[in-house]
Amino acid sequence: MRLFIVIFLFLLTGEIYAQRILLDDLFDDWQDVPVLHTDKGGDAGPSGIDFRTLKMWHSEDYLFLYLETGREINLQSGNAITIYLDTDNRSNTGMQVSGIGAEISYNFGSRGGSIHGNFGPVASIRHAQIGLITSPTVTSDRFEIAINRRFTINGVNYFLQNQLRIAFVSEEGNGDRLPDLNGGVEYNFNPIPPLLLPEYSVERRNPAHIRFVAYNVERDKLFNPAVRQEYTRIFKALKPDIIGFSEIYDNNSSATAALIESMLPSESGQQWYSGGVFPDIRLVSRYPIVDVRRVDGNGIFLLNMGSWRLICIVAHLPCCENETARQLEIDNIMAFVRNIRLGVSPLDVPQGTPIIIAGDMNFVGFRSQLLTLMTGDIVNNNIHGPDFRPDWDESDMDDALPYVTDAPFSYTWYSPAGTYSAGRLDFIVYTGSVLVNHNSFSLVSEVMSADKRQSAGLSVNDTGTASDHFPIVMDFSLKGTSGTSNNIKSNNSCRVFPNPADESELNLRFDAVLEREIACKLLTSEGKSVLEKNLTKGLAEFQLNLTGIPPGIYFLVFDKQSGLDNIRIIRN
């Protein structure tokens, strides 16, 4: 009878037990996972960390955790949060802390931990030894964590099974604990179905799809003869049409194209085109590169795709703790995109020209940098001008979100010997109003299934040997048959005339009376405000006095809540 009840409960909760957890910064896959513990608020220590919700899940290979910290932090630095795992669920073994006997401890801020015996630590550990991965790499108030269920330390095999107890402690001063009471939080490894992994295809699913690859090749390692075979196998497996490289410092774009030609020889009527931007950005393409621009150290490439054009922005932002420079550069890139949208870019492209932004973004600090890329929310408006909506349909950029091949992660960089755990540093984002993403992945040969790796012609250590970054891939096509999408939203809900403005008065006419007051500004192309006006609720027509405003190009910018696009104004 007891066995029947267990089977019945398993079937009854099948929707929960079928839950798939992916470390991808999105958190939506945790919604149906039951809360394991809710910690009371208001007991943060000097760090301000105030633990809230803890959820846990597992697969055959991984233990997954979801943790809310109560304030925005960087989990891999600048904090003193320690996780304690009582792997045998016995309080009299291991390190005595929070009423549990912890065999494993790991401090996220110092990026190190210990294996504990009954009489103290018996071994130091780093992330790679226990397969620790955290997400996101940018600041957040909630995080996803994964730990291998099986690992070996100093010849001792560990397997997280049956039951364990867990505790989190903020070690700074009299910091918060989760749980507040002794005894930890118990987790049971109940039977669950196999983990459902994201689908991908190393072979493009349709020959008509265009394959784009972004690849940081670790300081010209692409040109190192010692890893030539690894790179050759990687590119033969991927067969890209366009490759955006970073960290090629000592070899120019022509040499890069010649090397790719040696790995992927051109057929009749084909060739590899190339372009580059100082110091390390290189683009190699099967399609002609008709214009190249430099924005800081990042490359803007205009490609002739035949009947349409494609803008590829290949970026390599400042790394590590260089927060200010990284924000300034992503602001500048997005300001360039804004000018494309407004028709004042040096690139001669029609409205609706698709845009891809890709490369090593080094997003390891403030979350604002990622938000700028995705939403057009420029931080340094005084330098790089007003915020805007980056896609042609007034939406955010779309994220290709390449998952690791045959693993529940989205990391693109990994250095087992370093102190930082694997993280998502490389991105491909694009204007989803005009492009369709058919297939994307982060190629990591080390974790691919043996049959898929063999089918792709790869060896197990190819990608890890080639670079500390992995090639990220997106197969895409253009929506419709031209470079202009029929889905582009017009900003004619507000008409401005005369434009160009020859008179001292500029007229604004809305299709309907305003339902609320709207603030608007007239900005120079550098983002300086020269005129501000609040448009009154209940009216549909307004005038702006341009007296004293010199000739030039300006932008009429409405507040974000208005739903109105910026409008380019020419003052004669």
Give the C-alpha separation, 197 to 195, whole Å: 6
- Say if residues 223 and 251 touch (Cβ distance below 8 Å): yes
- Count of domains observed in the chain: 3
Does the residue 250 lie in any domain?
Answer: yes
Q: Which residues contact 553 (CB under 8 A, 6 or more apart)?
A: 344, 524, 525, 568, 569, 570, 571
Asked which of 449, 478, 507 is the last residue of a domain, the reply is 478
The residue type found at 182 is N
HEC letters along 256-295: HHHHHHHHCCCCCCCCCEEEEECCCEEEEECCCEEEEEEE
Give the C-alpha separation, 131 to 458, whole Å: 23
Q: Is 545 exposed, middle or buried (0-12, 13-18, 19+ CB in 10 A)?
A: exposed
In terms of domains, do 312 and 452 share one? yes
Give the C-alpha separation, 10 to 552, whole Å: 69
Give the C-alpha separation, 503 to 380, whole Å: 32
The residue type found at 404 is V
Report strand pairing: 104-107 vs 81-86. Answer: antiparallel
Q: Which residues contact 423 (CB under 8 A, 6 or more apart)?
A: 76, 134, 135, 137, 364, 411, 412, 413, 414
> If you write DSSP's letter for every residue of 204-232 in order, what string do you get?
-SSTTSEEEEEEE-TTTGGG-GGGHHHHH
Reported pTM: 0.86
The tokens 């339902």 sit on which residue? Answer: 515
**pLDDT 10s per residue in the chain (572 long)?**
333 333 333 433 444 445 789 999 999 999 999 999 999 999 998 999 999 999 999 999 999 999 999 999 999 999 999 999 999 999 999 999 999 999 999 999 999 999 999 888 999 999 999 999 999 999 999 999 999 999 999 999 999 999 999 999 999 999 999 999 999 999 999 998 888 999 999 999 999 999 999 999 999 999 999 999 999 999 999 999 999 999 999 999 999 999 999 999 999 989 999 999 999 999 999 999 999 999 999 999 999 999 999 999 999 999 999 999 999 999 999 999 999 998 888 998 998 999 999 999 999 999 999 999 999 999 999 999 999 999 999 999 999 999 999 999 999 999 999 999 999 999 999 999 999 999 999 999 999 999 999 999 999 999 999 999 999 999 999 997 333 333 334 344 788 989 888 888 999 999 889 988 999 999 886 677 899 999 999 999 999 999 999 988 888 888 867 777 778 888 88
In terms of domains, do 292 and 357 share one? yes
Cβ-based neighbour number of residue 95 at 10 Å: 20
Does the residue 300 lie in any domain?
Answer: yes
**What six digits make up the tokens of 293?**
């621009």
In terms of domains, do 506 and 542 share one? yes
DSSP-based three-state secondary structure for 238? helix
In terms of domains, do 343 and 448 share one? yes
Query: In degrees, to the nearest 5, what angle opens at C-alpha 46 toward C-alphas 43 and 49?
Result: 55
Q: Is 406 exposed, middle or buried (0-12, 13-18, 19+ CB in 10 A)?
A: middle
Does the residue 484 lie in any domain?
Answer: no
pLDDT confidence of residue 560: 67
In terms of domains, do 454 and 503 share one? no
Does the residue 251 lie in any domain?
Answer: yes
The residue type found at 316 is H
Query: In degrees, to the nearest 5, what angle opens at C-alpha 149 toward C-alphas 147 and 150?
Result: 120
Per-residue DSSP letter, 560: G
In terms of domains, do 465 and 514 share one? no
In terms of domains, do 343 and 393 share one? yes
Does the residue 279 lie in any domain?
Answer: yes
C-alpha separations of 374 from 4, 83, 191, 345 in Å:
50, 32, 39, 20
In residues, how long is the chain?
572
In terms of domains, do 511 and 445 share one? no
Asked which of 155, 188, 221 is the last residue of a domain, the reply is 188
Backbone torsions φ then ψ of 569, nearest 5 degrees? -120, 130
Sign, CA dihedral 369-241-398-77, equals: negative
Q: Report, in angstroms and rounded to the nearest whole number, the Rg of the chain calculated over CA atoms.
A: 27
C-alpha separations of 547 from 123, 183, 286, 522 in Å:
75, 73, 52, 13
Does the residue 200 lie in any domain?
Answer: no
CATH number of the domain residue 507 falls in: 2.60.40.3080
Does the residue 310 lie in any domain?
Answer: yes
Give the C-alpha separation, 30 to 21, whole Å: 7
In terms of domains, do 22 and 160 share one? yes
Does the residue 336 lie in any domain?
Answer: yes
Q: Which residues contact 417 (CB under 8 A, 6 or more apart)?
A: 128
Give the C-alpha separation, 490 to 154, whole Å: 64
Cβ-based neighbour number of residue 14 at 10 Å: 11
In terms of domains, do 168 and 37 share one? yes
Sign, CA dihedral 369-373-376-380, equals: positive
In terms of domains, do 169 and 291 share one? no
CATH number of the domain residue 448 falls in: 3.60.10.10
CATH number of the domain residue 59 falls in: 2.60.40
Per-residue DSSP letter, 29: G
Q: Which residues contact 9 (CB under 8 A, 6 or more apart)?
A: none
Asked which of 478, 504, 525 is the last residue of a domain, the reply is 478
The residues that bridge with 57 in the sheet, in sequence order, are: 64
Residue numbers of the domain that contains 101: 15-188
In terms of domains, do 409 and 345 share one? yes
